[in-house]
Amino acid sequence: MKITRVDRSNDNTPILSNDEIDKYAYDVLKDFQPDLLHEPGTVLFENFVEDYLGLKLLFKDIYTEKDKSPILGRTIFYDTSVKVFDREDKRVMCMPVRANTVIIDNYVLKEGREGMAMFTVVHEGAHYLLHSGVYSIKRTGQICCRRENVENPGGLPQTPEQWREHHANRFTSSFIMPDSTFIPFANDFLRGHGIFKRFITLGQDDDMDILVKDLLPERISEVYGVSKSAALIKLKKSGFISAGIGK
* Separation CA 247–CA 119 (nearest Å): 22
Is residue 246 one of the residues assigned to a domain?
Answer: no
Cβ atoms 180, 38 nearer than 8 A: yes
Taking 3-state DSSP, the helix, strand and coil percentages for the chain, each rounded to the nearest 5, stand at 50, 15, 35
The percentage of residues in the chain with a pLDDT greater than 70, rounded to a whole number, is 95
Residue after which a domain boundary falls, among 176, 199, 222: 176
Is residue 112 one of the residues assigned to a domain?
Answer: yes
Q: What angle do CA 38, 42, 45 make, to 5 degrees?
A: 120
Cβ atoms 164, 13 nearer than 8 A: yes
Is residue 244 one of the residues assigned to a domain?
Answer: no
One domain, residues 147 and 188:
no
One domain, residues 79 and 200:
no
One domain, residues 227 and 204:
yes
One domain, residues 124 and 31:
yes
One domain, residues 155 and 37:
yes
One domain, residues 183 and 108:
no
Is residue 245 one of the residues assigned to a domain?
Answer: no
Taking the whole predicted model, whether its pTM rises above 0.75 is answered as yes
One domain, residues 169 and 184:
no
Is residue 158 one of the residues assigned to a domain?
Answer: yes
One domain, residues 162 and 186:
no
One domain, residues 196 and 93:
no
Residue after which a domain boundary falls, among 151, 176, 201: 176
Task: State how far Cα 28 lies from the chain centre.
Answer: 15
One domain, residues 163 and 73:
yes
* 96-112 pLDDT tens trace: 999 999 999 999 999 99
Is residue 20 one of the residues assigned to a domain?
Answer: yes
For the cut 80, the answer to whether the pLDDT of residue 152 exceeds it is no
Is residue 243 one of the residues assigned to a domain?
Answer: no
Segment 126-133 shows an average pLDDT of 94
* 183-208 pLDDT tens trace: 999 999 999 999 887 788 888 888 88
pLDDT at 139: 61
* Separation CA 84–CA 92 (nearest Å): 6
Q: What angle do CA 106, 111, 113 make, to 5 degrees?
A: 70
One domain, residues 79 and 165:
yes
pLDDT at 44: 98
One domain, residues 45 and 150:
yes
Segments forming the whole domain that contains residue 197: 179-237
Is residue 247 one of the residues assigned to a domain?
Answer: no
Question: What's the total number of domains in the chain?
Answer: 2
Residue after which a domain boundary falls, among 161, 176, 191: 176
